[in-house]
Structure 1
Amino acid sequence: MIVSSTGKEVEVALLEDGKLVEIHRQRSTDQFTVGDVFLGRVKRVTAPLNAAFVDIGHKKDAFLHYTDLGPKVRTLQAYSELAIKGKLPNATLDKAKYEPEIVKTGKIDEVISKKQVVLAQVLKEPISTKGPRLSCEITIPGRYLVITPFSETVAVSKKISTSEERKRLQLLVESIRPANFGVIVRTAAEGRGVGELLEEINTLMDKWKTIVENAKGATPPAKLLSEVDKTTGLLRDLLTPDFTKVVVDDKDLFETIQDYIKDIAKDRPNLVQYHKSSKPIFDAHGVTKQIKSSFGKTATMPSGAYIVIEHTEAMHTIDVNSGNKMPSQNQTEAVLKINLESAEEIARQMRLRDIGGIIVIDFIDMRDAEHRKQLVTTMRNAMKNDRAQHTVLPLSKFGLMQITRQRVRPEVKITTAEKCPTCNGTGKVNATILLTDEIERDLNFIMDARPKAKLKLKVHPYISAFLKRGLPSAQMKWYMKHYRWLDIQSDNDFPITTFKFFDGKDDEIKLKN
């Protein structure tokens, strides 16, 4: 994980085997993030949508659908009303009074009314023209566990390797969970003892107490609990033994992350490193280069094959092309190889760009049933590390693969095109045949204005070679004219029609046009 901080914005890049797979940005001015808990006020109830629009302080009202209320919503709202009035002796749910559950097929206007105050959590960030999406099923996540109020359920991650370990954790958590709180056991809890899990439950209960205390006397819209910042949130959710290092370029953020790592990974104190080089952290670790090469319409792979990613209002489409390097012999195997390589790149691109919704992929046609099956298996394996919920369907009879992927935040879009430094985007440049005339004109002026100064000229390598070419070269002719040598240096970063003069102290000599 590479963390770059500019004060106003924090960028987090996640690399797997040296490849960029995720990039996250968080501005210090962000009003909220997924996981924040709010006290909101219902602005309107829309029966046709079976949803309500809630004011939580964002410029667009948040969307609360009936299916996101949860069966215990009446109990939650009754409890939150008592919390606002300050009538709760403490934040525990030992003596909580349960209200009747709502049915799955009910109507929103039977449960929620206009101007009602609701306790809800941000489920999705605003996307395009839509406001944030809310849920009344509150969850408070930690490294090993997630607690849910007004629930009796203990659920254990299916990713935990053995049934014995899942059963152990189930019994252990059952014995330590607070009354009327459900617990979800995360994959990271595998192998953890009762002490660590009990410590985390106490930490999560403190957050619940914070929600209850902040609700006392609050006037909606009001934020009751802030999710941890994006960096520590990613560490909490992603940190595994496979992590080799976390590199940070901001001293304060480095110390914050280091303290957090000491809490969640005491056995790995040297995991966090401080970037001391003057070279930008993203440049030093090859992130900038990968961003420039990964966010265009076309993504090229080492074999020469490439994929074309198109976005429409309804879905994303991805086309796989072989390029011009497909061998003429054994095309069946060559097509399989290209499709398998493309599957891994597509999985990376979906995760990197956070592409959500419906994705349709047009792979190169394959007739072999075994090859088609192998392609689906490869795609599913490539998406195993993707935290967004997703479904990969088998290839259709037309050779298309359909994937649905959860959309939680706006798609990451980074413009990789740059304004031409020569024409500044106009599409026009001065005729290069006149360039030497311009250089000579400015040189004559500088020679007269600074008769004793040492002079240096920086130009594009092509222009440097041209000025030094032949006998006598332009450089020699200028020496014979002024009896002063002009040092000509090439600079790869210079556009072909740009030139600059410098004095003996390497200060640029600027001329008024």
Structure 2
Amino acid sequence: MSNELIINSTQEGERIALLQDKRLLEYHFDRNDTNYSVGDIFLGTVKKVMPGLNAAFIDIGYQKDAFLHYGDLGENFLSLNKWVKGVQSQKITVGPLKTFQFEGPLDKVGKVADTLKKGQQLLVQIVKEPISTKGPRLSTDISMAGRYLVLVPFSNVISVSKKIVSRTERDRLKRLIQSIKPDNFGVIIRTVAEGREVAELDKDMQSMIDNWEQLFQTLRKAKPNDKILGELGRSSSMLRDMLNESFDSIIVDSPALHDEMRGYLQKIAPDKLGLLKLHTGKVKVFEQHNIEKQLKTLFGKTVSVPGGGYLVIEHTEALHVIDVNSGNKSNQEGDQEATALMINMLAAKEVARQLRLRDMGGIIVVDFIDMKSPESRKKVEDAVRDVMKHDKARFTILPITKFGLLQITRQRVRPAEAIVTGEVCPTCGGTGKISASILVTDEIDNSIDDLLLTQNQSGITLYVHPFLHAYYTKGLVSRQMKWYLKYYKWVKVMKDTSLGLTDYRIEDEHGEDIELHSAAAAMSRMQDREVEITD
């Protein structure tokens, strides 16, 4: 399994694509016009205390006040608050916490009105970016993430990622961290620390201690709403969190960003410098790696499933709904249960990929094709879990119900990506829209494959727009010739100027239509279905 990180710099920000075996797995857009990222630490001011919500709204300079729930204060809040007041009043003159006297832990079932007062200044960290009409979500449980470790001030607890299952390795890592960590700092050991030596861990630890010292120096002179410590940019933070032995390349198309990432790699993983490459070709980097086409394909309302079927994805205010459909693959297995299981297994992997790709959060309901067998439902459920185990967001999956519904809750920390896949219609000049025209050739190829292989047709004729006719018939080895070499059957391709750019029809050897793809036909099918339901 190979991983590639492709970064395209634009005037609005950086477009970041993570490819796994050439398929798009994650897509991020790190905008230049925002100063608020997950992990940023601010000196906020309490604007309003809401006893009914047991929460407070905090001013950190964003247009919407940020939200801080009592449960996000953390048990070390009293110690943090005491330290912040000491630094601001110049009573605390050094950054290390070796001589600092802790306060007791915060009551877990306390009231926010007894803890926070209007106008009070707090050191807060963004844990969720602004989404829709909501401001950022905050926490005062401050932490600093490194590549292998997470530093937690005002604590002495050392914890290890649950994904490190070896008891021997967990004990080894705890002993190493105990020997190098500063007093009154806790440490969370990340999964990627498994097998690392003390020198690498100590280097990571020193980097985070330097960040804490920087926070201390900034806080001494800070004013309300100032950013005290900024998180890494999205591209650098992805490198920090995901860089491992499976990475094949990191490609950027901006010399400035290339230099920035080179410096960061030199700091955290000098042995990986050879993976970083600067794209200098005439073809845009996203075009060269087929990312633009994948974005058009994967962010629409309808998403094809490799191997058969398709998904219909709907977003509502309360939840996300994903419907699994069989498409034209419903006759590949011997019985209905086997067909449903085959399509659902393929769809399960694509569903898990879509959740991560679009960063869909909250409640997600997946309507799989009905399966009678509990064993079949368990296989589909396990397939979703198996793919989602690589997802860094927290999630919960409930068993599939008798109606074929799978319910998932998933953490979201940034706005869900919404990419417009429709295009302005070239025929009407912008008064209407069509689905992404880039997909029509894939649909034609799939139809030809199904007709010639599955249905064993021969002597078929394809009618297309003149532009598509040239695409299929021109060239030294045309697409039409490639079909012949693949199927040993000749497909006649004819021009039809009455067809739109994304329309096509296929006739059999007797001149009868066996497939028609057009907006009018789609409308007719919908009307027929409505009549059936009414009847």
Look up the SS of the partner of 2:337 in the other structure. helix
Do the aligned residues in 2 keep the contact of 1:211 with 1:224 (CA within 8 Å)?
yes
Name the residue aligned to 1:483. Answer: none
Query: Per-residue displacement from partner, 1:428-461 (whole Å, max 9, x unpaired)?
Result: 9xxxxxxxxxxxxxxxxxxxxxxxxxxxxxxx94
Look up the SS of the partner of 2:424 in the other structure. coil
Look up the SS of the partner of 2:75 in the other structure. coil
Identity of aligned residues (%): 47
Does residue 242 (structure 1) correspond to residue 246 (structure 2)? The answer is yes
Aligned residues: 438
Do the aligned residues in 1 keep the contact of 2:54 with 2:111 (CA within 8 Å)?
yes
Q: TM-score, normalised by structure 1?
A: 0.82
Do the aligned residues in 2 keep the contact of 1:83 with 1:213 (CA within 8 Å)?
no
Look up the SS of the partner of 2:14 in the other structure. strand
Given residue 259 of structure 1, which amino acid in structure 2 is its aligned partner? Answer: G
Query: Among residues 102, 112, 116, which one is paired with 1:112 in the alignment?
Result: 116
Look up the SS of the partner of 1:236 in the other structure. helix
CA–CA distance in structure 1, aligned partners of residues 468 and 394 of structure 2: 55
Give structure 1 stretches of 5+ with no counterpart: 429-459, 466-489, 497-513
Per the TM alignment, residue 217 of structure 1 is displaced from its structure 2 partner at its CA by 2.8
Does residue 139 (structure 1) correspond to residue 147 (structure 2)? The answer is no
Does residue 155 (structure 1) correspond to residue 182 (structure 2)? The answer is no
Query: Among residues 249, 256, 263, which one is paired with 2:260 in the alignment?
Result: 256
Look up the SS of the partner of 2:416 in the other structure. coil
Structure (1 or 2) with the larger CA radius of gyration: 1
Given residue 284 of structure 1, which amino acid in structure 2 is its aligned partner? Answer: Q
Look up the SS of the partner of 1:269 in the other structure. helix
Per the TM alignment, residue 161 of structure 1 is displaced from its structure 2 partner at its CA by 4.7
Q: TM-score, normalised by structure 2?
A: 0.79
Name the residue aligned to 1:339. Answer: 344
Name the residue aligned to 2:330. Answer: 326
Do the aligned residues in 1 keep the contact of 2:37 with 2:231 (CA within 8 Å)?
yes
Name the residue aligned to 2:372. Answer: 367
Look up the SS of the partner of 1:267 in the other structure. helix
Q: How do residues 70-219 of structure 1 correspond to structure 2 at under 5 angstroms? A: 70-219=74-223
CA–CA distance in structure 1, aligned partners of residues 317 and 268 of structure 2: 42
RMSD: 2.0
Look up the SS of the partner of 1:270 in the other structure. helix
CA–CA distance in structure 2, aligned partners of residues 41 and 426 of structure 1: 49
Does residue 396 (structure 1) correspond to residue 401 (structure 2)? The answer is yes
Per the TM alignment, residue 29 of structure 1 is displaced from its structure 2 partner at its CA by 2.1
Query: Among residues 419, 425, 431, which one is paired with 1:426 in the alignment?
Result: 431
Higher mean C-alpha displacement, 15-24 vs 329-338: 329-338
Look up the SS of the partner of 1:38 in the other structure. strand
Per the TM alignment, residue 218 of structure 1 is displaced from its structure 2 partner at its CA by 1.6
Stretches (4+) displaced over 6 A: 462-465
Name the residue aligned to 2:32. Answer: 28
Look up the SS of the partner of 2:248 in the other structure. coil
Does residue 409 (structure 1) correspond to residue 414 (structure 2)? The answer is yes
Given residue 397 of structure 1, which amino acid in structure 2 is its aligned partner? Answer: K
Given residue 57 of structure 1, which amino acid in structure 2 is its aligned partner? Answer: G
Given residue 426 of structure 2, which amino acid in structure 1 is its aligned partner? Answer: P
Name the residue aligned to 2:461. Answer: none
Per the TM alignment, residue 426 of structure 1 is displaced from its structure 2 partner at its CA by 2.2
Per the TM alignment, residue 43 of structure 1 is displaced from its structure 2 partner at its CA by 0.4
Do the aligned residues in 1 keep the contact of 2:348 with 2:383 (CA within 8 Å)?
yes
Query: Per-residue displacement from partner, 1:173-227 (whole Å, max 9, x unpaired)?
Result: 0111110100000111111111111121111011111111111132101100000
Per the TM alignment, residue 407 of structure 1 is displaced from its structure 2 partner at its CA by 1.6
Q: How do residues 219-298 of structure 1 correspond to structure 2 at under 5 angstroms? A: 219-298=223-302
Look up the SS of the partner of 1:373 in the other structure. helix
CA–CA distance in structure 1, aligned partners of residues 274 and 22 of structure 2: 20
CA–CA distance in structure 2, aligned partners of residues 380 and 237 of structure 1: 21
